[in-house]
Structure 1
């Protein structure tokens, strides 16, 4: 495992675009997560209300709401991590480093495992980053303090870890399928933001909510953490992560890994 990680580290440590994109991602994610209350205060100063509720009074950062609120907000940015994964795998084909790795004795499964380990590391660092933001903002804004409330509802952090990890393995599959950076990024963005969501909306309109298309990959991943903000205007929202949703996403991760390995075994590595 350490050998595979060291191989990936040697590829990435001097690859400046990777570090620039990753740094920008964390800066933007941190600013957005930390800026919600400032935005609410701005809306309040303009006289905006949500069903009669002053936006500045919304307990967005209160323990225990903070974990569900922050992780849901952070899921919108996972596509940029997906782009980084796509660039990483597409470069393997463009610069023929994948071919050189195989010639040097790395098996195709070991090559895939090295990519999965990087995805795991990236996902873990990302989840820890959101956790630290949550702890800091909760400490600043939450009127209720203490470890007993701080980690209540923290299951959404684990769901976020799984959400991002599953999406990055999907991004790896797209990058391995297309091989060209630009086309792969466009396809990932189109499918994630337009093709599947619009398709699900159309199917929902005609056939209702509870049918097979609720288990399309992006929809299944997004089901882990659903929009929580309706609770502030007394709407019923998700209050726990369903085991069924976790099982579906784990099954998708297994499927994506299988398809990645299958492509590596059967396709020309260039």
Structure 2
């Protein structure tokens, strides 16, 4: 595994665009810390995000993993480009000539996907811990680590999304077309959820099995957990809407199955394709 990872990271680091995108991704993740200290002014009122409870334990684990998952497209571009470059530069064919099997080739890509997801998760763990210890009103150990299950969901979400991007990169061969296909698929899922499934009154039931939707279900939006939103709901509707924000077992299983499907399909395509 170490040998395969070394080969892949050598390719990524020697590619200028991939190197810049990877560094930019982790820099943008660090901007969460910067947001905590910035004073915002809205309709004459000064406020800091840190003072609104966004960085309180255990809420910080939910909020920051949700926000960080939005940035996953940066690494998705790296994953897709990584695969497209194999075809463009002929390194795929050369690796196979040098003795790397197709199975090892796919595993090397998957290990890279997992490594990126793990590095991002560890980075978020350290960042959230630093922010929370500095800005949270609660510092009891049981509260600090209460909702760290969001980190597991975050890791699984990244592995699932990157595995999908890897599959598209192998299927389409060109990074621009693969990313375009990703965008189109996002629209297809939206149509299926809000049009086709909605007409059957089974929108939530069926849409949870779609790849991108299942990944989205791993970490629900955190904003309605804020007291300011609950107060608005109470004022308008008489009571706050009850929601379950916890990490659910079923979406984790569905995403895990999709990961397996994407990797198997990637291998099957590579097996049958004339290189």
TM-score for the superposition, normalised by structure 2: 0.87
- Give aligned pairs, total: 262
Q: Which runs of 5+ in 2 are unaligned?
A: 231-240
Counterparts in 2 of 1:197 and 1:47: CA distance versus 1, 3 Å: farther
Cα distance in structure 2, aligned partners of 1:38 and 1:198: 40
Q: CA deviation at 1:43?
A: 4.8
Residue pair 2:220, 2:245 contacting (<8 A) in 1 also:
no
Structure 2 matches for 1:30-109, cutoff 5 A? 30-31=30-31, 33-37=32-36, 41-44=39-42, 46-47=44-45, 57-109=51-103
Is 1:156 the counterpart of 2:156 in the alignment? no
Choose from 170, 180, 185 the match for 1:176: 170
Cα distance in structure 2, aligned partners of 1:133 and 1:115: 27
Partner of 2:188: 195
- Report the secondary structure of 1:42's partner residue: strand
Q: CA deviation at 1:267?
A: 1.1
Counterparts in 2 of 1:82 and 1:55: CA distance versus 1, 3 Å: closer
Residue pair 1:123, 1:165 contacting (<8 A) in 2 also:
yes
Segments of 4+ in structure 1 off by > 6 A?
Answer: none
**CA RMSD across the alignment:** 2.2
Residue pair 1:166, 1:221 contacting (<8 A) in 2 also:
yes
Q: CA deviation at 1:150?
A: 1.6
Residue pair 1:72, 1:228 contacting (<8 A) in 2 also:
yes
Choose from 238, 247, 254 the match for 2:244: 238
Q: CA deviation at 1:227?
A: 0.6
Residue pair 2:50, 2:135 contacting (<8 A) in 1 also:
no
Is 1:145 the counterpart of 2:119 in the alignment? no
Q: Which moved more, 1:246-255 or 1:54-63?
A: 54-63
TM-score for the superposition, normalised by structure 1: 0.89
Residue pair 2:35, 2:49 contacting (<8 A) in 1 also:
no
Q: CA deviation at 1:38?
A: 5.4
Partner of 1:6: 6
Cα distance in structure 1, aligned partners of 2:185 and 2:37: 33
- Report the secondary structure of 1:210's partner residue: helix
Residue pair 1:228, 1:238 contacting (<8 A) in 2 also:
no
- Report the secondary structure of 1:152's partner residue: coil
Is 1:228 the counterpart of 2:243 in the alignment? no
Is 1:17 the counterpart of 2:17 in the alignment? yes
Residue pair 1:65, 1:153 contacting (<8 A) in 2 also:
yes
Partner of 1:267: 273
Cα distance in structure 1, aligned partners of 2:183 and 2:19: 21
Counterparts in 2 of 1:255 and 1:45: CA distance versus 1, 3 Å: same
Choose from 250, 263, 271 the match for 1:257: 263
